[in-house]
Structures are given as structure tokens and as C-alpha cells.
Amino acid sequence: MESPAVTFTLAYLVFAVCFVFPPDEVRSAGLTVQSLLSAWLGSEDAAFVQYHLRRSTGTLLAHSLLPLGYYLGMCFAAPEKHLCFFYLASKEWKTFFFFAVLLPAITSALAYYWSRKGWNNHPLARTLAVHALPQSGWRAVASSINTEFRRIDKFATGAPGARVIVTDTWVIKVTTYCLHVAQQQDIHLTVTDSRQHELTPDSNMPVQFLTIRVASVNPYIKAFDIR
């Protein structure tokens, strides 16, 4: 019979994977960062860029707490390890606890820095600033993206953590921790991979999946892949 510590470890591992990469069942149950922080995040349709500024920051903070959650759970799953009393724990567990506390402390400091001056320090804000005209700033670019995202003629596909959105002016890729943005007039598209799938759940016809590299002529815009 497996010990409670092993059972808890396996269960927590499954929980952590589902929390970081939530399947449809977890999303429908509302156990995602977006659902748990919905009151703070606001509406994606109303303010797309501002929503993802907060979402990426909140996701990073939430995921950084997972190691600490495991340690706290092990305090009850393995009382013989004396994890509730730090000075009695083994050297290995003391080291784990140190990093489990250090990780959210660092991400909290980073989140605070990003949020300063109206999110001016956030990586997404800096990326958008590259697209801004000389007499404007990243908020003008954000306003343009927000407006185009609200239009019904945009193209959007993929899971919430790996979406591709194409508007009249922008190509956007949403990932777990960041948002890739490129202006259509500045990009080159290159097919880097092609895979043939004979059957899909929605059709009996073969489907081809393409991986396309989106590279901007602007050297300050990092290239990214879409499918």
C-alpha cells in the first residue's frame, strides 16, 4: 500500500499539471487563473491588452505558489518528516522550503515592478511601445488593438492558453505568460513545419497542420510561431 506522502505527491503533480496546462474539463469547472482572478482581470472584450497585462502577471504569481503549496500539503501528508517545524526538517526539505518561499517572493517583486507607473514596465507594454508613433506611446497601440479585437470580423483560433488572433492590422499569439504582437504590414510568414493527420474528432477527412514563423522586419520584435 502506498504511503500518504506518495499518494499526495502524485495527486499534487496531477493537480499542478492541470493547473498550469488546464484541459477542457478543468476550464469548464472554473479552476483556472482566469476564472479565479476574473474580478481583478476584468473583461477581455472591453480591454484586451489591459486584461492580458493582468492575466500574465497573475498567472506567473499563481504558478509560483505551487511549490509552496506542495510543501504545506506535505506537512499534513507526511507528519513524520516534521515539516511543520522548520528546524526539525531535513536539510533537503529546508532547501526546498527556501526556494518555495523565494520563488513567489521574486515573482511578487517582479509583478510590483511591472505594475508601476500604470504598467509601463510590463514586457507587453514595452513591446507595444516599439509599434507606437514618435508622438504617442504604448497606450495608443493598446487602444488600437482593443478596438480591433472587439470587431466581429477578427479571426481567432486555439485554446485559451495558446490562441492565435488576427485582426485587420495585428497578428497576436496568446500564451500562458506573455502576448506576442506583430503588425501585419511588417511581417514575413514562413512555413517551418507541416504535419498530416488522417482523422480528427470533428471530421473524417485528413487534416494538415502547419507551423508558421511570424518574423517582423522590426529588429525589436521577437519572432514567434503560430499553428
Q: Mean pLDDT, 10 residues at a time, over the chain (227 residues)?
A: 80 92 83 88 90 94 94 88 82 92 96 93 92 87 93 84 88 91 88 73 68 86 86
Same domain, 90 and 26: yes
Helical axes 66-77 vs 4-20, angle rounded to 10° = 160
Same domain, 44 and 150: no
pLDDT at 1: 37
Residues 31, 104 contacting (CB under 8 angstroms)? no
Same domain, 117 and 130: no
Total count of residues recorded for the chain = 227
Same domain, 94 and 164: no
What's phi and psi for 59, nearest 5 deg?
A: -65, -45
Same domain, 131 and 210: yes
Beta carbons within 10 angstroms of residue 173's beta carbon: 20
Same domain, 182 and 118: no
- Alpha carbons within 13 angstroms on the beta-carbon side of residue 24 total 2
End-to-end CA distance of the chain: 45
pLDDT at 24: 80
pLDDT at 2: 57
Q: Is 213 helix (H, G, I), strand (E, B) or coil?
A: strand
Domain count, the chain: 2
Same domain, 138 and 212: yes
Same domain, 85 and 178: no
pTM: 0.86
Query: What's the domain range around 96?
Result: 4-123
Q: Final residue of a domain: which of 97, 123, 149?
A: 123
Q: Final residue of a domain: which of 75, 103, 123?
A: 123
pLDDT at 202: 58
Same domain, 8 and 114: yes
Q: Final residue of a domain: which of 123, 157, 177?
A: 123
Q: Is 133 helix (H, G, I), strand (E, B) or coil?
A: coil
Same domain, 99 and 142: no
Same domain, 140 and 159: yes
Same domain, 10 and 117: yes
The C-alpha cell of 221 is what? 520584435
